[in-house]
Amino acid sequence: MTRTAPRFPSARIHAGLVYTSGLASIDTASMVPRFPDFARQCDDVLDQLDQVLAQHISTRAAVLRLECFLADRGHFAAWNAAFTQYFLGSVAGAAGVPARTTTIATLPIDGLLIEIQAIACTTKETP
């Protein structure tokens, strides 16, 4: 039997807000992590967030809330550094950083170290 990725949207829009699905560094064909290490998985999910926001006429400066799920609390310092660089080391820094929550959790795929989801403002109309 062939395993296939579940079908779900990268984001939904309602009332001027973009709600992303969980973003993870997963090869959807094989359902395994794209990278074995935290730094590359983290960079990958933040790049995915930029792409999803752009598809829905938004940017990281418009992110209101970001939720992060880490598989290991040992990655918390690295996550803090990446979060700071992503939001304060960019144009978004002028607008401030979003509200955020970081949770340590058992993630659904072995080797997956980080998953994020966000809520951001958009000017795109609700479909």
Quote the pLDDT of residue 89: 78
pLDDT digits (tens), the chain, 127 positions: 555 555 678 999 999 999 999 999 999 889 999 999 999 999 999 999 999 999 999 999 899 999 999 999 999 999 999 999 998 876 555 567 899 999 999 999 999 999 999 999 998 776 6
Per-residue pLDDT tens over the stretch 19-52: 999 999 999 889 999 999 999 999 999 999 999 9
> Which pTM does this prediction carry?
0.88
Q: Can you give the chain as a three-state secondary structure string?
A: CCCCCCCCCCEEEECCEEEECCEECEECCCCEECCCCHHHHHHHHHHHHHHHHHHCCCCHHHEEEEEEEECCHHHHHHHHHHHHHHHHCCHHHHHCCCEEEEEECCCCCCCCCEEEEEEEECCCCCC
- Residue ranges of domains in the chain, CATH in brackets: 11-121 (3.30.1330.40)
Residues 31, 88 contacting (CB under 8 angstroms): no
